Amino acid sequence: MDKPSESAPRLADMINKAIDDGKLTNKEYQTIIALAEEDHRIDPEERALLKALHEMLEDKTVVRVP
């Protein structure tokens, strides 16, 4: 099994901050996407984190703001 990428903990931190704040700025969103893609591979842990974030955005648990 592959080990998680080095960016996974930073990605988790950013997503957890958005959950705690209840909001996500466009800049934070772009940074999250860039972190996930920085090694040109989205591993299963990153995929799960991104899926959870998108679900929270859809159900308005986290609101996207400018």
Both structure tokens of 61: 């648990």
pLDDT at 15 over 90: yes
Which band of pLDDT confidence, cut at 50, 70 and 90, is reported for residue 1?
A: low
- Quick: pLDDT tens for 48-62: 999 999 999 999 999
Whether 3 maps to a domain, the answer reads no
Question: d(Cα 7, Cα 26) in Å, to the nearest integer?
Answer: 19
- pTM to 2 decimal places: 0.86
Residue 41 lies in a domain: yes
Range of the domain at 43: 8-59
For residue 2, tell me if it sits in a domain: no
Q: How many domains does one find in the chain? A: 1
With contact defined as beta carbons under 8 Å apart, do 52 and 45 qualify?
no
From the list 1, 63, 7, 3, the residue with the least C-alpha distance to 49 is 7
In a domain, 14, yes or no: yes
> Is 1 inside a domain boundary?
no
pLDDT exceeds 60 at position 63 = yes
pLDDT digits (tens, 9 = 90+) for 29-47: 999 999 999 988 888 999 9
